[in-house]
Structure formats: structure tokens, C-alpha cells
Structure 1
């Protein structure tokens, strides 16, 4: 058996080998790859595609009502009903005078006129095989068919716009998740930098304590501060794990497979005046376009309801074959046209009222959405500009705090500054760096929100950005 250091070394070696074998290789994805994966499997996109497919089916169905219908049927029947049997014989061209009781009629006997013909009234069992082909041709239905077709086209365009809107919303969600991972990585660097500085303060404090410059409580304060920074590192790593989990779910990343993101990204910021951006948003926003198409569909619905007041004209033609056996059938045809006009129907007025009410509702929904969009664009535009200014301010604040902390540390090492002042300055520096990371993330999100409101958020409008400069400044 192995004892002592040998046993411990063997255990460490075994753990390292097992860990290296079980660790799954990490794969780095850029932003566009993440968007592509999300679009393929995200439930929202699947639902949007299904709605678009349903709308296409409605168009095909409505277009089909404009075309003639051809029906074919075959029937086999048997009956002893006098009227039915006589009709079968007529359709088979098999009716004879005997079917009217000619054999029972005696011209010399006047009473024969009162006899009931047995062949006509009691025909017995009789069967018929019938084959029929019928063509129905719609000519004019008061505009109902065209109205429904226009409705279907409008709803298809609305579904297509809804699909675009779903893609853009999903792109925005991926942007938030992707950049949250980048921000979490930067936050870990900030926390690790703070931990390194705290460890340096502990070392310096111990040297000064040994020289009699500091008291033990100052050294303990530095130790407590290091513990806080270690906890901050753990918290930052947990936040990164949560951000990666969120992104993995969003893009359908396989469970158990490591994921690493590549460069940070930043949406482009439109440089047009606010009024121009609002006009572009009202014209290009997919949600507004969808509502406009829904309004058009509601207007077409009025045409459909109005068709109930108009005459309907249809034509038909059929060819039949009837016989007492499958190989013995008599052909016949029918050609005709029909004009129907529902002159009095009190129910159709309710249909017209309902169609007009739907149009009013669609108009109100469109107006409300347009008003909200103007406000949304204005707020996103101002927030994006403010976020850009905040980034510049945070950058200057970090530079100022780094220089200030450098001077505080020099004074502390020379015994003219307290540990309290040193740790307070370091806390402010750490906070400034964390706020800079948050500012970069907020700027990306606000720019994305502006492009989303304008209906222009797509991967082509999102470019690679420089990493957050958390490593710049004075080395601790």
C-alpha cells in the first residue's frame, strides 16, 4: 500500500487524469452563429413559421373557391318504393307501357280505368348502379369570394410581418444574452483585479506590521477586505454561469457541452434626427406593418359581409350513367344556371355591423401602436445617447480613480495613510470599474432596443466591438 506523500500524489494524479478525460471541449461561438442557432429551434420562431404556413393555406383555400369544382360519385341502390323504382327505370331508359298497367287495361271494359296497375304500384325489388360527374362553376357571388381572398392575402402579409418581428425580437434577446456573458467575463476580470490588489494590501500590511508601523487591527482589516474580494470573484463567476445557461437555452445548446462566446458586439447607432427615426419606424416596424395588414383584412371583411345583400350566380353541368348492371348504363346530362338573391334576411345586418366593428377595433389598435412606437423610439434614442455619454464618463472615472489609488497606496506604504483610507479608495476604484462594465452592456442593449423599435435589428447591423478595457490603468 502507498502511504504518506506517495499516496497523496497518486490521488492527485488520478483526479487530474479523470478530470481531463471527462471535461467536454469548449466551443466558441460568435454572435451571428448564436442568432442562427436560435432562429432554427426557438419556440417563438417555430410558432411564427406555423402561423405563416397557416396563412398561406388560407390563401390557397380562398383562391380555390374561385375555380370550378369537379365531383365524381358512384352509387348502388335497391328499392321497392314505387316512385323510386319508376325513377330508376326512367333514368335507365327502361320504362315501358307495362309499368303503367297496359296489360291490365281492357278497352272494352270501362271499369278498367279504375284498376290500380300492379306493375306501377307494386314494382318489387329493383336496383340501380349510378355514376355521376358534376362540374360546378361559380360566376358571381356578390364579391364574397374575392373579399375572402383579399382577406387571406392581407393576413398572410400580416403573418410574414409577424415572422420578421419575431426574428428581430429573438435577435434582441440573443444580443442581451450574448452581451451579458461578455459583461460577466469583464466583471470577473474586475473582481480578479480587485482580489489581486487586496492580496497585495495584505502582503504590504504584514510587512508594515512586522516593522511596527501598523497595528494588528489594520492587518486584519486588509485580510477581511481580501475575503470580500474573493467572495466578489465567486459571485461574478456565478453570474457568468447563469448568463451562459440563459444563452444556452436560448440557442438550444446541447446540455453538458461547454459554451464560450467570442468577441463582444455593439449595434450600430443611427445618426439621423429623432423625427426622421420615428418616421422610419412607422414605415418599417414589422409590428406596425402587421397591424396595417390586419386593418386591411378587416376592411375586406366588410366587403364579405356586404355580399349577403347581392345576387349570387352559379352554373353547373353533370353527366350521369344509370343502369341495372355495371356494364349496362344509360347516359344522360344536365346543364343549368342559377341566380339566387336573398331579398329579406334580418341576420345579415348583424354581420355587417360586426364587420364594421372589427374594422374600428383594428384602426384603434393601429393608432395606439403607432403612438406607443413614437414614444418607444424617442425613449430608446435618448437612452442610447445617454448610455454613450455614460461610457465616456465611466472611462474617465476609472482613470481618475486608478491614479488616485496609486497615490493613496504610496502614502500608505510610507505610513502617512491609514488602511481605512486605502481600502476605501480601492472599493471606489472597484466600483468604478464595475460601473464601466455595466455602462458598456447598457449601451449595447439600448442601441439594440432603438434598432428593434425602428424595425431594423438584424445581425448585419451588429458589429464586433472592442473588449471592455478593465485591464488598463495602474497595475496593483
Structure 2
């Protein structure tokens, strides 16, 4: 009993969302869709790249602490100089004085050693520890505008990633709306199929009754049962399609969905304004942004013809003990450097011309994007209007097919037509119903595609 109660309490946790509305679904999509989350992460990475590019303007400050020990003559002498402890004794002054005194007392060997024998204190010093702490700062003063252009390019790339997210969101909204309309369409299709199956069942009952009275043949009943099996197969396939649509919707929302609020079978046709399309279409906006980036790239290549100027400064202290007498032995170095490339074999000129050609190419891509999107919008509008006319036609055909079927069923009971004639008319009803479903689905798909091009899914 306890296990049963636990199951009843826990069961709602595993149940899917019930009676989900389309607006609620779109709100969930924006927050929960995994592909959109990944795209937002890409945006964040681009934002950090922009911050990193801007950071180059402020230079670089480093702190280094090193510890060494050496008996190499050059190193030991250098250590002593950096520690401000070098003496004349390090140059062999003591040995020189001793040899000089001995030479004055008549020691010829001492006279020779005084000028020819290398000093032992300088060449064979004792091993020495060396600890150095240094702070260094490098700052670019002028780069011909290259750093500024790099910063603008990374900002533009960040905006480009936002456009990519916006486009992806429009696509996911398109898919979510389509899933709602698909489910609503297939549910109505299932209802109509149920009615058709009921009609066939009634016809089956009539054929059986007429067979018992000798007015129908066994083959008539078999024909009706075969048609009923065909309709039931279509019914089962429609239910499977509905389940698949729910699974796809659950995938989009990253949440299990059990049922939705049905929507109209026919999605509303959006109003199209040519100027608004150019101002809001994402592909056009991305092309315009790409044009700006190509112009910045030209400026970067132009900067190669200008000099770069940088400043640097160092401050530190060294001793044979860590941080010993730091202020007494500190030292600084400051400087400025100008670098200007005069000749590099025409590489800069070639890269500049390449950037200019790319800029011209992107200009043409912008024009192509505008004309291509305008053509696509016009094509979609035409196809939607065509589907509207077809839907109206098939709705009338469906209504007519149902009446014809009812008429032939009555005429069959009167023995005027054969069961094959009746089933042929019923088959026509099924055919028109399926075609009507397909047309509505195609029409809705094109409307959602048009909405996606118009970028009316809301900002990221």
C-alpha cells in the first residue's frame, strides 16, 4: 500500500505537459532549447574575444621572480653587478697588488704574472646565489589604427554571432509552430478518418444484412472489409505521425509534452513590406555587417604602411638573498621604440589589394542577398496564394465527395449500383481528404518559412 501511495505522489513528476499553448511553448523554447543554449554560449565566447581585443590597448604588466645559482665566471660577475656588489677585487686587483709588491722586491716571475697571468678571482669565482624580482610594463602608443580596427572587427563578429542566434531562434520557432499546426491537422484528419471508418462499418452492416436476404454477394462484403482495413491502416499511421510530432515538439522544448491546445488548421498569412524585409531580414543584415568587416579589414592592411610606436619600463632588484636590501639595490629601465617596415617584397601591397577586392566582392554579395531574399519572399507569397485557392477547391471537392458517397450508398441499398461503385466513391473521399491535409500542411510550412525570413520571431 505504501509503494502504491509513493507511485501516486511521484507519477506527476514523470507526466508530460498537458494542454500546452503555442505562446507558452515558444516562451519555453527560448529558455530551454539546447541548440539555442549552445548558440548563446558561442555569443558569450565572442564577447570575451571582444574584451580580449580591447585589452591590447592597455599594454602588458608582468612580474617575474627568479632564483639561480652558478659558478660560471660571466654569470657570477653579472650577478654581482645586478646586485650592485662588484668590487675591484673581482677584477683581480688584490692579486695585482701582491704581484706588484713582489716585482718591486726583485721577483721577476711576479713581474711577469702581474701583466700576463689571468686573475683567479675573476675567472674562477666561487658559486653564488642570485634572486631577482622584476616588474615590466609594455604599452603600444601608436599602431596605425590596427588595434582599433581589430577591436571593431571582434565587436562585429560578436554581433554576427547574435544574428546567428536570432536566425536559429527563428528556425526553431518555425519548427515549433509547424509542430502545433501539424498536430492539430493530424488530429482533425484522425477525426475525419474515424467518421469514414464508421461509415464503412455501417456500410458493412448493410452489406451483411442484404447478403442474408440474398441481395448481396460474399465478394461485396469482402470488398467492404478490405476498404475498412485500408482506412484503419491510414488511421493507425496518422496516430503514429501524431506521436512522432509530439516527440519532435518535446525535443524542441527539451521537455516532455503530452497534449497541446489545438490551433486553427490554417496559419494566418503575414503582411509583407519590402522595406521592412530589407531592414529586418537576418541574411541581409549579416551581409551588411560582413561589408563593414571587409572595410575594417582594408584599414588593417593600410596600417601596415604606418609605423608602430611602443613604450616600455622595468623596475626590479637583485641580491644573493631573496628580497634583501630591495630598495638599496633596485634599478629601473625605461624606453621607447619606433618600428617602421620599409620593404617586404610587396607583401603588404598584395594583401591590401586582396582586402580591397574582397570588399568589392562583399558589396556584390549584399546586392545579391537583397535581390535573392526579395525573390524568395515573392515566390513564397505566390505559392501560399496558390495553396489557398487549392485548399478552397479541395474543401468543396471533399464536401461533394461525401454527398456522392452517401448518395451511392443509398442507391446500393436500392440495388441500382454495385458495391464497387460505392467503394470507388468512398475511395475518392479518402483521396480528397488526404490531399486536403497535404495542401494545408504545405501552405502552413510556407507561411512559417515566410515569417522566418521576415524575422518576426522576436529578438534574441
Q: Is TM > 0.5 for Structure 1 vs Structure 2?
A: yes
Q: How does 1:292-331 map to 2 (within 5 A)?
A: 292-326=288-322, 327-329=324-326, 330-331=329-330
Return the offset for 1:452.
1.1
- Checking the alignment, whether the CA contact within 8 Å between 1:162 and 1:287 is kept in structure 2 is no
For the residue of structure 2 that corresponds to 1:93, the secondary structure is: coil
Answer yes or no: is 1:27 the counterpart of 2:26.
Answer: no
Distance (whole Å) between structure 2 residues aligned to residue 319 and residue 191 of structure 1: 87
For the residue of structure 2 that corresponds to 1:65, the secondary structure is: helix
Distance (whole Å) between structure 1 residues aligned to residue 406 and residue 66 of structure 2: 101
My pick for the range that moved more, 154-163 or 205-214, is 205-214
Match of 2:71 in 1: 80
Distance (whole Å) between structure 1 residues aligned to residue 200 and residue 11 of structure 2: 34
Paired residue for 1:55, among 46, 52, 56? 46
Return the offset for 1:379.
1.4
Match of 1:94 in 2: 85
Return the offset for 1:386.
2.0
- Checking the alignment, whether the CA contact within 8 Å between 2:307 and 2:341 is kept in structure 1 is yes
Match of 1:242 in 2: 244
Answer yes or no: is 1:158 the counterpart of 2:176.
Answer: no
Distance (whole Å) between structure 2 residues aligned to residue 22 and residue 218 of structure 1: 50
Match of 2:447 in 1: 447
Answer yes or no: is 1:191 the counterpart of 2:163.
Answer: no
Cα–Cα, structure 1 residues 388 and 52, in superposed 2: closer, same or farther, change >3 Å? same
Paired residue for 1:182, among 174, 181, 184? 184
Match of 2:6 in 1: none
How many equivalent pairs are there? 433
For the residue of structure 2 that corresponds to 1:325, the secondary structure is: coil
- Checking the alignment, whether the CA contact within 8 Å between 1:183 and 1:438 is kept in structure 2 is no
Answer yes or no: is 1:104 the counterpart of 2:95.
Answer: yes
Q: CA RMSD in A?
A: 2.9
Return the offset for 1:200.
1.0
For the residue of structure 2 that corresponds to 1:391, the secondary structure is: helix
Return the offset for 1:159.
0.6
- Checking the alignment, whether the CA contact within 8 Å between 1:37 and 1:251 is kept in structure 2 is yes
For the residue of structure 1 that corresponds to 2:74, the secondary structure is: helix
- Return the TM-score normalized by structure 1: 0.82
Instruction: Give the gaps of 5 or more residues in structure 2.
Output: 1-9, 104-110
Describe the superposition over 1:97-133 as per-residue Cα deviations: whole angstroms up to 9, x where unpaired.
2223322335786864555333333333222211111
Paired residue for 2:206, among 184, 204, 207? 204
Match of 2:59 in 1: 68
For the residue of structure 1 that corresponds to 2:66, the secondary structure is: strand
Return the offset for 1:306.
2.6
Describe the superposition over 1:173-216 as per-residue Cα deviations: whole angstroms up to 9, x where unpaired.
22233322222212211211110110111122233334444444
- Return the TM-score normalized by structure 2: 0.84
Distance (whole Å) between structure 1 residues aligned to residue 202 and residue 458 of structure 2: 46
Distance (whole Å) between structure 2 residues aligned to residue 102 and residue 215 of structure 1: 136
- Checking the alignment, whether the CA contact within 8 Å between 1:168 and 1:455 is kept in structure 2 is yes
